[in-house]
Amino acid sequence: MTLETILPPERTLFDVPGGSKKRVLEFFSTFIAQNTPSLDSQEVFSRLIGRERLGSTGIGHGVAIPHSRNPHCKAPIAGFLKLADAIDFDAVDGEPVDLVFVLLVPEAADDAHLALLGQAAAVMNDADTRHALRRADSQHALHECLVEAIRRQSSA
């Protein structure tokens, strides 16, 4: 399973209002629950915030990869948000975050969870990819850029 198979264009969101880490995670939780009947927005939010309390998922260079397990998640789900304005995410390098890659996985998806997290980190650690994502000027361009980066990474 690759990120490409779980990140459809409609879950690549462009110009999302930021404000705060909490607001961005609430926004995503509401969005994903509206599009995935088995998920409850409050539970998704609670699990994402719970994971953040263990340590920020802000990996540096303006990127965060919030993730959590969810018993009502039937298969891994990915979402990508390019924020309109960078926000404080308590990232390891102290830099504000404007690129957010969210992963939700079934409760028991240990190996899949780690593999997908590793793929997301590898894609987002590439400076050229981050630069291209920030230059993308539409939802379509953003998704195309991400898919290209995922394919490059998986063939490396």
What's the pLDDT tens digit per position in 111-130? 878 889 999 999 999 999 99
CA distance 100 to 65: 6
Predicted TM-score (pTM) of this structure? 0.95
- Whole-number Cα distances in Å, 51 to 6, 22, 43, 68: 21, 12, 12, 7
Nearest 5°: phi and psi at 82? -100, 115
Q: How confident is the model at residue 2 (pLDDT cuts 50, 70, 90)?
A: confident
Among 61, 67, 131, 143, the one annotated catalytic: 67
| pLDDT score recorded for residue 113 | 80
Task: Tell whether the model's pLDDT for residue 1 goes beyond 90.
Answer: no
Question: Which tens digits make up the pLDDT trace of 4-31?
Answer: 999 999 999 999 998 999 999 999 999 9
- Is residue 131 flagged as an active site residue? no
pLDDT single digits (tens) 27-74: 999 999 998 889 999 999 999 999 999 999 999 999 999 999 999 898
Structure token pair of residue 156: 């490396």
Burial 66-104 (b: 16+ CB within 10 A, else e): bbbbbeebeebbbbbbbbeeebebebeeeeebbbbbbbb
